[in-house]
Structure 1
Amino acid sequence: MLYPELFKQLESVRWNMDKDIPWDQFDASRLSEEQAQTVKMNAITEWAALPATEMFLRDNRDDSDFSAFMSVWFFEEQKHSLVLMEYLRRFRPDLVPTEAELHEVRFEFDPAPALETLMLHFCGEIRLNHWYRRAAEWHDEPVIKAIYETLARDEARHGGAYLRYMKRALQKFGDEAKAAFAKVGVLMASARRTAQALHPTNLHVNERLFPRDTIQSRLPDPEWLEAWLDKQIQFDAVWENKVVERILHNLSLLMERSFESVQELNRFRKEMTQKLAATAAAASAAGGPPGTQPA
């Protein structure tokens, strides 16, 4: 099991909201109205760890190890929302999200393949780490800068934990896991080709509620994310390339095969898809279950 070791690792570096955030360094003159508004939007977005956890537990009922790890991930992600709300409570109490605004982002996600969801959230942690690092640079006020730097480190550690479960999945599921990880990797590393920010909170997850079935669509300002990325923290092509490079680098290590570009990863995805199809066809011809070889 990975959970006991991951628990110890994350416990050893866990920060304390009272002692490790420099609340006494707050400088009101360095916090603009638009900056304060974005803190509120991110506080609500982080609350979406609640429905995400419910999704993970539902779709991983056969995996008690990973489900146990969710107790750590959920605690730390909800703490992100809490520290952003504490910042507002102390310094901009008029902007503290209401319970109704928080509850609006709690809705059921449609079931999805567990391997693809794992890869999706691994990529999401990488992206959010870079978003928060850029946000820390954009802000002038010392306390919120420190908070975003703290959250960015958490997201990096969470990505590392997900990577451990991805390595385990390769051992258990082989080519099926490779195909799933490559498929989602191509999607999440192709943000420059899409009009929307590629993060789990910005993807459609409930067909019945479409188009209000993304986390971002249910925020008080559904358009804020694009403005935050493009006009405020200016998450430009240089930063996007950093995200893509991290995704490709980690997949290269995971698959033991070099991926220098999304195109190379896509070719690998096609290879895995064809290999799985051939294996299934051979098993069908032999009258056995998928994944078996004919005698």
Structure 2
Amino acid sequence: MLYPELYKSLESVRWNMEKDIPWDEFDASLLTDEQAQTIKMNAITEWAALPATEMFLRDNRHDSDFSAFMSVWFFEEQKHSLVLMEYLRRFRPDLVPTEEELHAVRFEFDPAPPLETLMLHFCGEIRLNHWYRCASAWHTEPVIKRIYRIISEDEARHGGAYLRYLKKAIADGRQQFADMARGAVAKIGMLMAAARRTEKPLHPTNLHVNKDLFPRDTVQSRLPDPDWLERWLDSQIGFDADWEKKVVERILHAAGLLLGRKFETAQELNRYRKEISGRIAAAAGAAGETAPSAA
């Protein structure tokens, strides 16, 4: 069981909103209206940890270890939303999200293969770590710069925890289950490492997750400004090709650690995915079963 160890390690580095945020260093002259609006959007987006947690608990009822870890992840993710709202409450109270705006991003996600969802959120944590580091560099006001650095470090640690659970699944003694985990890592890793080829940023908050609510079935589509994310990345914080390259390298490196191979490109990871898919199909055929679709 990983939860006790992860709880202890995350508890040891947990930051305090009163003591670790330099509120008294705020400089109003260094915060623009444009920047303040982006803080509001991120505060609402972080609130979406609530429906994500509900999804994780629903789809992982079979895994009490991972479900227990959700208590830590949920607390720390909601704290991100809270600290951003506290910043606005202190310095731009006119932009504090309303309860209605927060509740709008709480909606049900369709069930999905748990291992694929886990890998998706692992990649999402890597991406958020880099987005927030880039945002910290873009901002000019010292307090919000510090906040973004702090929460970016949380996202990196969360990614590390998800990596541990993926590693645990791959180490499972049941060959077919372990291969399902390998297939999930390869499939989602390949898609997320190829994100630069898509028109929109690939992140859990920007993916369609409820077919009955389409097209308003992404977290971003339910924000007060649904087009905000692309504008924030492209023309505000300047998340350019160099930043994206760092994300891709981290995803491929992590996939290599999990799968025991070195991957230089998403195409190499895709070839591995096909190899694992073939192995799963062969095993299912030998057993007279239908090959699982997750790989």
TMscore range, shorter length: over 0.9
Aligned position for 1:39: 39
Does 1:30 find its partner at 2:34? no
Alpha-carbon distance in 2 for matches of 1:103, 1:124:
22
Aligned position for 2:230: 226
Alpha-carbon distance in 2 for matches of 1:116, 1:251:
13
Aligned position for 1:53: 53
Q: So what's the TM-score if we normalise by structure 1?
A: 0.96
Letter in 2 for 1:244: V
Alpha-carbon distance in 2 for matches of 1:181, 1:58:
21
Aligned position for 1:104: 104
> Is the Cα–Cα contact under 8 Å of residues 259 and 265 in structure 1 kept in the other structure?
yes
Shift of 1:169: 0.6
Shift of 1:73: 0.1
Deviations 1:154-193 (A, max 9, x none): 0000000000000001012211110111101111111111
Letter in 2 for 1:69: F
Alignment of 1:1-295 (within 5 A): 1-172=1-172, 173-284=177-288
Give the secondary structure class of the aligned counterpart of 2:17: coil
Letter in 1 for 2:214: F
Alpha-carbon distance in 2 for matches of 1:5, 1:64:
15
Alpha-carbon distance in 2 for matches of 1:290, 1:237:
38
Deviations 1:97-141 (A, max 9, x none): 000000000000000000000000000000000000000000000
Give the secondary structure class of the aligned counterpart of 1:174: helix
> Is the Cα–Cα contact under 8 Å of residues 283 and 290 in structure 1 kept in the other structure?
no
Deviations 1:45-85 (A, max 9, x none): 00000000000000000100000000000000000000000
Give the secondary structure class of the aligned counterpart of 1:14: coil
Letter in 2 for 1:200: P
Alpha-carbon distance in 1 for matches of 2:77, 2:196:
27
Give the secondary structure class of the aligned counterpart of 2:171: helix
Query: Unmatched 5+ residue regions in structure 1?
Result: none
Shift of 1:289: 8.8
Shift of 1:290: 7.0
Alpha-carbon distance in 2 for matches of 1:235, 1:139:
13
RMSD (Å), alpha carbons? 1.1
> Is the Cα–Cα contact under 8 Å of residues 281 and 291 in structure 2 kept in the other structure?
no
Alpha-carbon distance in 2 for matches of 1:176, 1:231:
39
Q: So what's the TM-score if we normalise by structure 2?
A: 0.96
> Is the Cα–Cα contact under 8 Å of residues 183 and 269 in structure 1 kept in the other structure?
yes
Alpha-carbon distance in 2 for matches of 1:36, 1:221:
14
Which sits farther off after the overlay, 181-190 or 117-126?
181-190
Give the secondary structure class of the aligned counterpart of 2:122: helix
Which sits farther off after the overlay, 130-139 or 272-281?
272-281
Runs of 4+ displaced beyond 6 Å = 288-291
> Is the Cα–Cα contact under 8 Å of residues 120 and 188 in structure 2 kept in the other structure?
yes
Percent of pairs with identical residues: 76
Give the secondary structure class of the aligned counterpart of 1:61: coil
Letter in 2 for 1:28: A
